[in-house]
Amino acid sequence: MADREEHQGLLDGDRDEDEGDKAPSVHLNPICDPNHLLHRILVLIFMCFLGFGSYFCYDNPAALQSQVIQDMNLNTASFMQLYAWYSWPNVVLCFLGGFLLDRVFGIRLGTVIFSLFVLVGQIIFAAGALANHFWLMNVGRFVFGIGGESLAVAQNTYAVNWFKGKELNLVFGLQLSMARLGSTVNMNVIGWVYGRIQMSMGSAGPTTLGITLMIAASTCLFSLICALVLGFLDKRAERILNKEQGKTGEVIKLTDVKDFSVSLWLIFIICVAYYVAIFPFIGLGQVFFIEKFGFTPVQARAINSVVYIISAPASPLLGFLVDKTGRNVMWVMLAVITTLLSHMMLAFTFWNPWIAMSLLGVSYSLLACALWPMVAFVVPEHQLGTAYGFMQSIQNLGLAVMSIAAGSILDVRGYLFLEVFFIACLCMALLAVVLLYLFDYYKEGGLNLSAATRSKRAKPE
């Protein structure tokens, strides 16, 4: 399959680029030739590792939950602030990220700047631990958050710029897999790193935590280097191919919000209610598996990362499945119901949690594949940027608020009640899916059409 696309790429590669019809006649080594697949693979590697650092460090608190709480002398609610502070800047930045990349910095400089934010944020975060100031750690997470989410936008822009009309879907899939890999590696490695440092220092404490987080910051440095290399390669390709610098193409107009349809608002509700039951749960999961299922910390970290592990290979596969079959609403409903089931298993049974967590991993991937593309069906193309920005923004708002809420619930009422809270959120998501289906059916919208009908409709007779 990649082969066939490669041939196509070779045949009409030049015409694909709007401006790039003056390909150089100079004969370059394939790996250095921006038109050649080998070179694109090289670029892809840097592109994938661009987000590695931020994904690795995003879940540092979850992987070190008990250590952070103990060393910094926190309660769970204040621990969850670390996640909330990551989300706060993104409530606004989701609208601004695209604008900053397109108009202010340009993709290359923007990527470097956002990578710098990620690195500096992580260093401040670690310094906060070293200095034993929890507020400084929050500041670090805030700065980290400014960079993190926008870096993902930049990564996507690079991908579109280099792979549009070629292996774009595969590249998106690979980038997502890479992101999940970063989270997984973090979950399974950082606790071990902490243990080694604790051993060599002889005791645990804020210093141990700080050193561990500083080591984690090296992944962000690595990502920054990737950003610099990518910038260089992109600049070089621009020179050789005479192509333009990539644009997100996002035009955000907040006044568009009043034109949003009922369907879109329902999609927003699903998005918030669903993700609220996933990410805060992973953030708090480690101790849950230790206390309820008697796992060792190592096992608990492993099972806590299984959602990410599964989503790495499952995302591209399920994306393919959804693309081929259509019927997005039904897939979303299935994903919400299976997530609901797995949360109920975790809450009300002592069944091996690997079952529930694996199910959660699959349904989480399925939802991501089926939910996000639906926005494109209910919004005119010129409003797409605003719609996606808005969706990410309220998702971040929801996560910020609910992270703290989840921490407080746990502190006062325990894990069963927390799980019931997540189940209630999922029930709300389910209700929204059902309403979405009915509304769409009533309005004869196209959300739940099969792929075949959809393509039939798309073709003007």
Partner 1 sequence: FLGRGDAFRRKVSVELNPGLAPPLSLPPGVGLVHLRGLGDNDTLHFVLCNAGAPALLLVHSNSTRSAVTVDWPEFINSSSAGSLRVEPESSVTYSSALVFTRLWEYDDVNNTADPQKAAESSFYPPYELQNFVWSELNTTLNQSEHTVVLCGGEKTQSFSNGSLCLQVSVFESQGRDEAWPSLLHNANSSQLRVWINGVTPRGNNSRFILEFQSVGDAGFQSRVDMRSSIDDEYTPSIFKVSEWVSSPVNSSSVWGFSQWKPVAYRKARPVFEDATACRHSELVFVNGTPPSAVIQAYFTHNTRIYGLNISFGLAEDPVFYDATKYISWTVLMGLGDPPSDSFSPLIIIIITVGLVTPLVFIILGGVFVCVRKRTSQSTAYEPIN
Residue type for position 169? N
Cβ closer to partner 1: 69 or 214? 69
Q: Can you read off the two tokens belonging to residue 404? A: 């703290």
Q: At 326, phi and psi to the nearest 5? A: 70, -145
Shortest reach from residue 262's CB to partner 1, in Å: 15
Shortest reach from residue 185's CB to partner 1, in Å: 25
DSSP assignment letter at 247: -
Helices (H) and strands (E) in the chain, counts: 19, 0
Shortest reach from residue 303's CB to partner 1, in Å: 16
Residue type for position 389? G
- Cα distances from 422 to residues 83, 427, 455, in angstroms, run 17, 9, 37
d(CA 3, CA 1) in angstroms, rounded, equals: 5
Cβ closer to partner 1: 14 or 411? 411
Cβ closer to partner 1: 277 or 400? 277
Q: Can you read off the two tokens belonging to residue 209? A: 């935590």
Tell me which residues touch partner 1 (CB under 8 A).
69-70, 73-76, 203-204, 287-288, 291-292, 347-350, 410-417, 420-421, 423-424, 427-428, 430-431, 434-435, 437-438, 441
CB 403 within 8 A of CB 76: no
Shortest reach from residue 313's CB to partner 1, in Å: 31
Cβ closer to partner 1: 143 or 432? 432
Q: Can you read off the two tokens belonging to residue 85? A: 């502070």
Shortest reach from residue 439's CB to partner 1, in Å: 10
Shortest reach from residue 437's CB to partner 1, in Å: 7
d(CA 213, CA 400) in angstroms, rounded, equals: 22
d(CA 29, CA 11) in angstroms, rounded, equals: 18
Shortest reach from residue 344's CB to partner 1, in Å: 9
Shortest reach from residue 76's CB to partner 1, in Å: 6
Shortest reach from residue 433's CB to partner 1, in Å: 8
Cβ closer to partner 1: 120 or 367? 367
Cβ closer to partner 1: 401 or 434? 434
Shortest reach from residue 434's CB to partner 1, in Å: 5
d(CA 145, CA 147) in angstroms, rounded, equals: 5
Shortest reach from residue 347's CB to partner 1, in Å: 7
CB 187 within 8 A of CB 305: yes
Cβ closer to partner 1: 60 or 208? 208
Query: Does residue 326 sit in helix, strand or coil?
Result: strand
Q: For residues 304, 307, 308 and 314, what is the CA-based torsion angle, rounded to 10 degrees? A: 160
d(CA 458, CA 452) in angstroms, rounded, equals: 10
d(CA 412, CA 398) in angstroms, rounded, equals: 21
Shortest reach from residue 271's CB to partner 1, in Å: 17
Q: For residues 92, 263, 176 and 103, what is the CA-based torsion angle, rounded to 10 degrees? A: -40
Cβ closer to partner 1: 70 or 207? 70
CB 135 within 8 A of CB 128: yes
Q: At 450, phi and psi to the nearest 5? A: -75, 160
Cβ closer to partner 1: 165 or 205? 205
d(CA 302, CA 85) in angstroms, rounded, equals: 25
Cβ closer to partner 1: 220 or 356? 356
Cβ closer to partner 1: 249 or 414? 414
Owner of token pair 């990362």: 305
d(CA 358, CA 355) in angstroms, rounded, equals: 5
The number of beta carbons lying within 10 Å of the beta carbon of residue 41 is: 12
Residue in 454, 230, 423 with CA at minimum distance from that of residue 336: 423
Cβ closer to partner 1: 2 or 412? 412
The number of beta carbons lying within 10 Å of the beta carbon of residue 283 is: 23
